[in-house]
Chain A
Amino acid sequence: MAVNYIYPEYEVVRNYDRCIACRVCERQCANEVHEYLPDLKKMVTDDSKCVNCHRCVALCPTRALKIVKTDHTFRENANWTGKSINEIYKQAESGGVLLSSMGNPGQYPIYFDRILLNASQVTNPSIDPLREPMETRVLLGSKVHRIERDEKGRIKKVMPPHVELSVPVMFSAMSYGSISYNAHESLARAASELGILYNTGEGGLHEDLYKYGKNTIVQVASGRFGVHKAYLNSAAAIEIKMGQGAKPGIGGHLPGAKIVGDISKTRMIPEGTDAISPAPHHDIYSIEDLRQLVFSLKEATGYTKPVIVKIAAVHNVSAIASGIARSGADIIAIDGFRGGTGAAPTRIRDHVGIPIELALASVDKRLRDEGIRNNVSIVVAGSIRSSADVVKAVALGADAVYIGTAALIALGCHLCRSCHTGKCNWGIATQREDLVKRLNPNLGYRRLVNLITAWKHEIKEMMGGMGINSIEALRGNRLMLRGVGLNEKELEILGIKHAGE
């Protein structure tokens, strides 16, 4: 009979010379790793409960703690790794689907790291953003090249509805429920101060946050939680969520235990019931159905707000995007396979979908080939890690990007990838009151503002180096990119040349 024991992946190392047994670590750890033994006047740890979130390490006043990867090992095997073996043990024990959180951590190519940017030398001048205007403002929405004039010959200034961003970065959909109220408030206030948008996710919008409506995208997902007329009309834009990069093709499940108090009210479902988002929208089985939902939402909001359709990057993403661009949508959001999640089946997260760089390049090209690129704006997500990724995404053809994980890291997330346990020690992916209050929105929003402000400076520096002083002149400007270490096919799909060419 097998014994169900898995040696912990990480070990908590305590330097007893430094430990003063102040018990901060014990109080801070929702996973109950640390324990004080009064008889011995000593702290002890249970490594098996540790998720490696660094909460105790960060708050230890004497720097007595660190977390290390264990050197405990199976017999070496390139095929049967320790991870594979342990996962089989877990499933043999539980009979269940493996769950994971945050983005795909696997060893797949990261194309952003294989792309390099250009700079001006001699034949045209680079531009110093500290001395010259450098524009990062973006308008998202449909741009129709049609001019109508009034009887005096003046242009009629009618544009389809759009949203304006001071910098082409938005906070991507994370629902109230999957993250805490304080995290939501931080995102909303930061978006408002920055002149960008955040996204409610599918959990509805807490009534206290309606005041940030001008900077809010409200989501309509397959569960339709919290969707009503006031919700739709409170926002700057409406997003129909068809898919998510971390789990293309499947729905979502927020356990009843988390459906308490305001979350239940906001989602408009009874306390304690599971919030299940079906895999498809059951009123959308094809593209013509999507068109109907797009126009239903436009009808409900008097054609004043752009509608975003968000899809996961899957194999035939360009054909799907082309269909969406003709369905009345104003903006297409594409979420790559590295995109984050509060919980997803591990196998789906790690094996379904394609890299966002390739999806973006092929969608942008397809829409141009068909002459409909200006019908829609393109927003990409999963995973944008830095301002350099933003610049590369824009040069590949994106109008703007969504960031989720990067925003959470700014709020304190340490990427321990244990959101699905609901015991986030940093107060982000949890609803436990004692944990939620660890995230102070007054400080949280400031850190988000700092992050985007820093990125904006960096984006301007990179643009200036290329001699570009407005972000729209960078969009789809693939001559500004070169690949390194990519094969012919990859370069062809990305539509870029190799370095040295």
Chain B
Amino acid sequence: MREGMFRNLSGCAISGIFSRTGKRFSGKLIVDSMTVMHERSNGLGGGFAGYGIYPEYKDFYAFHIFYDSYAAKKDCEEFLEKHFDIINLSKIPTRKVPQIKDEPLIWRYFLTPLPTKLASSQLDEREFVVKCVFRINTTIKGAYVFSSGKNMGVFKAMGYPEDVGRFYRLEEYEGYCFTGHGRYPTNTPGWWGGAHPFALLDYSVVHNGEISSYDANRRTIEMYGYKCTLLTDTEVITYIIDYLNRKVGLTLKEVCAVIAAPFWSTIERKPQDEREELEFLRSTFDTLLITGPFSIIVGFEGGMMALNDRLKLRSMVVGEKDDMVYVASEEAAIRVIQDELDRVWSPKGGEGVIITLEKGKS
């Protein structure tokens, strides 16, 4: 049994670090932060996402792919060659760590869609890439694209997050934003693809919780061309954010008002303009409301968003120091990397904390 064949419930630890000025820092920080929360994981999955890590290839889609076999790699590369210009490809550098075993083949590709293919698909470039990712993940056996954005990348494995960080040599990457995840699944995922972050294009999501609205959300989002193959909360949350933000065109603040909508009784007390907008969003996108406990950190190009479920059933703390913003399941995970904070607070349930690069920084 591997992830996708059953629904795997998880508890978790999450952490995120962001530099508003776009100052690049080492991936070591996020690994240190996650290490403190060792107890919140059980060694069955850990991972990281880094933004601004591939400046030399920033105009190309960076695909990170797990292969079960060389045959799968051959099939997948055939597909990639047919649809993209492959600018560069290489094994993702790793180091041997005793705690990390049974690794698949892990490859990285920098790609740009073939203009002819893109034109004949009649899709915009990002939608074209999404379609290709779904094609690979659902039709090429043994191949799994787990990262597909520009100037960002996901690194994940079976194991504790600190071991996963060492395995991927995360300290060698520098970026303006990193997020991290340690997983405590109730079942053995049996597969690296099930670890988090979950990513699509430049959106990546780390999540702690178990959403009770899962099947209502899944069945809604699948109407819009998404295929939930992993049966995890993180997967469906990522698709919802991608759909609302990229396809429908809602701002992230509006996305929060859909997925962690205020209670009707709260909406009724708002001034007229705001009330009408909240009513509109909640009514129009009603089946994308997410209930049950969650705290998530969403990474995207140039920004990071932290959000709790509307009852705040999972812990999440935000800290600020100068241009740096820290988000984590526990304050200790922030203090360990920055003890002198200008401000620390617990965002309210449903209150999205959206952090973006200052203008002109990247």
Contacts and interface: CB of A to CB of B under 8 A. Distances in A.
Interface string A20-35: 0000000000000000
B284 A144 contact: yes
B214 A479 contact: yes
Contacts, number: 112
A484 interface: no
B284 A466 contact: no
Q: Is the interface of A mostly helix, strand, loop or mixed?
A: loop
A368 B7 CA distance: 21
A123 B248 contact: no
B280 A159 contact: yes
B219 A472 contact: no
Interface stretch (B50-58, B159-167, B289-297): B289-297
A135 interface: yes
Contact of B311 (A132, A476, A477): A132
A473 B311 CA distance: 14
Contact of A475 (B9, B285, B287): B287
Contacts of A241: none
A373 B216 CA distance: 12
Contact of A124 (B216, B217, B222, B292): B292
A470 interface: yes
A470 B7 contact: no
Contacts of A146: 248
A133 B250 CA distance: 27
B286 A472 contact: yes
A421 interface: no
B286 A145 contact: no
Contact of A467 (B10, B212, B284, B286): B212
B1 interface: no
A468 interface: yes
Contacts of B186: 123
B277 A473 contact: no
A111 B311 CA distance: 34
Nearest to B281: A155
Contact of B223 (A135, A154, A157, A371): A371
B111 to A, nearest CB: 29
B139 interface: no
A373 B313 CA distance: 31
B212 A468 contact: yes
Nearest to A127: B311
Given A123-B11, A373-B223, A473 B289 contact: yes
B27 interface: no
A469 interface: yes
A137 interface: yes
B264 A469 contact: no
A335 to B, nearest CB: 24
Given A137-B264, A155-B277, A371-B223, A473 B216 contact: yes
A: contact size bracket: 35 or more
B292 A145 contact: no
A465 to B, nearest CB: 10
B338 interface: no
Nearest to A146: B248
A476 B210 contact: no
Contacts of B292: 124, 467-468, 473
Nearest to A158: B280
B132 to A, nearest CB: 21
A155 B254 contact: yes
Contacts of A403: none
Contact of A473 (B9, B213, B276): B213
A143 B283 contact: yes
Nearest to A118: B212
B224 interface: yes
Interface in A371-387: 371, 373-374
Nearest to A162: B283
A460 B312 CA distance: 19
Given A135-B263, A473-B289, A368 B11 contact: no
Nearest to B284: A143
A222 B209 CA distance: 52
Contact of A143 (B286, B310, B313): B286
B284 to A, nearest CB: 5
Interface string A149-186: 00000110101001000000000000000000000000
B362 interface: no
B220 interface: yes
A123 B9 contact: yes
Contacts of B287: 374, 472-473, 475-476
A149 to B, nearest CB: 8
B190 interface: no
Interface string B277-321: 101110111110111110000000000000000110100000000
Contacts of B254: 155
Contacts of A139: 283, 286
Contact of A155 (B222, B280, B286, B311): B280
B42 to A, nearest CB: 13
Contacts of A373: 220, 223
B280 A124 contact: no
Contacts of B310: 469
A125 interface: yes
Contact of A135 (B11, B222, B264, B276): B264
A450 to B, nearest CB: 24
Nearest to B219: A476
A474 B283 contact: no
B265 interface: yes
B234 to A, nearest CB: 15
Contacts of B276: 157
Interface in A443-483: 466-470, 472-480
B171 interface: no
18 contacts: A123-B9, A123-B186, A127-B311, A154-B277, A155-B254, A159-B284, A368-B219, A371-B223, A371-B224, A467-B212, A467-B293, A468-B212, A473-B291, A475-B216, A475-B287, A477-B215, A477-B216, A479-B7
Closest 5 CB pairs between A and B?
A: A473-B213, A467-B212, A479-B215, A477-B216, A473-B291
Interface of B: 7, 9-11, 186, 209-217, 219-220, 222-224, 248-250, 254, 261, 263-265, 276-277, 279-281, 283-287, 289-293, 310-311, 313
Given A123-B11, A124-B292, A155-B281, 5 more contacts: A124-B9, A124-B293, A124-B313, A145-B285, A374-B287
